[in-house]
Structure 1
Amino acid sequence: MFKEKRFELIIEYVNKNGYATNESISKELSIPFTTLRRDLNELHNQNYLIKVHGGAKTLKEKSILEANFSEKISDNIDQKKIIAEKALLCIKPNESVFLDAGSTTYFLAKIIKKDLNNRIYTNSILHAQVLANNGIEDINILPGRLKLKTNAIVGVETINSLKKYYFDVAFIGINAIDSDYNFYTTDEDEAEIKKIVVKNSHLAFALADKSKLNSRSFVKCGDKSQLAVIDEEV
């Protein structure tokens, strides 16, 4: 079977099922394992599907629901650490920084060091604690209501407080990115906070691993004209 035909069949099969194991793909499409592994690697690199341990899953746009912070922080840890290291390179000494609540921004908070002498604002008590443990002295926690599920501070007080600040650089947590690179979150309050921060920042980055691609959630909070994506791609 020609490679192009195999690719077509694999993509169709994975999209139809949402997720498929290597065993099921090999059996149903009569593709040897060694050939299948090479094909899946190539299809993943070309962004036709997502290769995962033991199989592959579709890149068709899906609806993302909000998970608990404790669940998100244990997902895709290696990817989030890579993203955090790349994001750190975007922070210059003495800059004002906004650090959004979220699991990927949490890993960034863990590696920001005192010697950068940044003034850091955040809507996450957890991030503030991590920054304090790093010896950061200028930490500013926004007022508002604590949303326990995402560990984010939200609400009218948060929004009103943000309107008076301007940040050199901001790092925004994102739940989903569609095929046109529109960015989404699951909550209207959090979306409003992200929009204001992006508007009031010289540079704004969306921190998102590639599992967030080709998906949508409830509320759009930005697009590719406003935010640059930092992912785990080398």
Structure 2
Amino acid sequence: MLAGQRRNHIAEVVERTGAVRVSDLVSELGVSDMTIRRDIDQLAEQGLVERVHGGAVALSSRTSDEPGFRAKSTLMTRQKQAIGEAAAALVEPGSSIGISAGTTTYELARAVRSVPDITVVTNSVPVAQLLHESGTPGQTVVLTGGVRTPSDALVGPVAVAALRSLHVDLLFLGAHGVDPQAGLTTPNLVESETNRALVACARRTCVLVDHTKFGVVGLSTFLALADVEVLVTDDELSSRTRASVADAVGTLVTAKRQRIPGRLRTGS
């Protein structure tokens, strides 16, 4: 595992659990405690974790809140880019799509910003801004109203009411966690309600999640795995989990990263 991948993993663990010990990371990652301490020091300098004696904890300002969009966008970046590129192949000119808030769905938006004559419905402020600035001919962006969360999602009754009157061909949906029994989950109850409204306005749903989201269970379920038509993930998902997910969803797509920068392959 490269240094960048190792630090991404540490940041993901802290985000999910709130804290991590150096000794546990040494055993898990097979490196020295000095290496782990240097990784934590660098993450602390970047403002992603708080260094404490024996490990790292989530920043005190974020322990009971959602991590911000900027903080999450630094994690699993190459995996998210690969997932976004793979999912973009499902978007056709002339179609209408929904894009939920999140850093993985943002990469999907980046990949489709040059597709002409599409209508995009989203509750993500960064996604709407990205597509608006692209200036692609015939591209229409509909941004729901609502209360803005730390992750730059618009949620709540206003967002839900707006979505009830809309219909899209395909929804691209992120998740905090994916579990065979719990399904797709989020720790935010209001965001969960808004995600259900997004699903209700879509003919088909495509879920975009990297491998670290599997086995994670948030407070509220907004979609069962059996109701997912397409799920796109990266090539670091274990074979056992991949087989289990493939049996549960309609189609599983694995986004494979080539070692040559800038080139991606996709396979299912």
Check whether TM > 0.5: yes
Match of 1:83?
83
After superposition, the Cα gap between the structure-2 partners of 1:199 and 1:225, relative to the gap in structure 1 and judged at 3 Å, is farther
- Which sections of structure 2, spanning at least 5 residues, go unmatched? 1-23, 33-64, 236-255, 257-268
Larger radius of gyration: 1
2:126 is the alignment partner of 1:134: no
- Kept in 1: contact 2:180–2:225 (CA 8 A): no
Greater relative CO (CA pairs within 8 A, separation 6+): 1
Match of 1:58?
none
Match of 1:146 among 133, 145, 148: 148
- Kept in 2: contact 1:168–1:203 (CA 8 A): yes
Whole-Å separation in 2 of the counterparts to 1:195 and 1:124: 15
Match of 1:175?
176
Q: Give the alignment of 1:40-55 within 5 angstroms.
A: none
Whole-Å separation in 1 of the counterparts to 2:174 and 2:187: 11
Whole-Å separation in 2 of the counterparts to 1:103 and 1:197: 17
Whole-Å separation in 2 of the counterparts to 1:210 and 1:183: 13
Whole-Å separation in 2 of the counterparts to 1:212 and 1:218: 14
Match of 1:230?
232
Overall identity of the aligned pairs, in %: 23
Determine helix, strand or coil for the equivalent of 1:20.
helix
Whole-Å separation in 2 of the counterparts to 1:163 and 1:222: 17
2:30 is the alignment partner of 1:22: yes
| C-alpha deviation, 1:153, in angstroms | 0.6
Per-residue displacement from partner, 1:48-99 (whole Å, max 9, x unpaired)? xxxxxxxxxxxxxxxxx83221111010000000000011011111111111
- Kept in 2: contact 1:119–1:139 (CA 8 A): yes
- Kept in 2: contact 1:110–1:134 (CA 8 A): no
Whole-Å separation in 1 of the counterparts to 2:196 and 2:216: 19
Whole-Å separation in 2 of the counterparts to 1:179 and 1:121: 28
Whole-Å separation in 1 of the counterparts to 2:220 and 2:182: 14
Determine helix, strand or coil for the equivalent of 2:111.
coil
| C-alpha deviation, 1:115, in angstroms | 3.9
Whole-Å separation in 2 of the counterparts to 1:74 and 1:220: 25
Give the CA RMSD over aligned residues. 2.1
Match of 1:201?
202
- Which sections of structure 1, spanning at least 5 residues, go unmatched? 1-16, 25-64
- Kept in 1: contact 2:156–2:193 (CA 8 A): no
Q: How many residues align?
A: 179
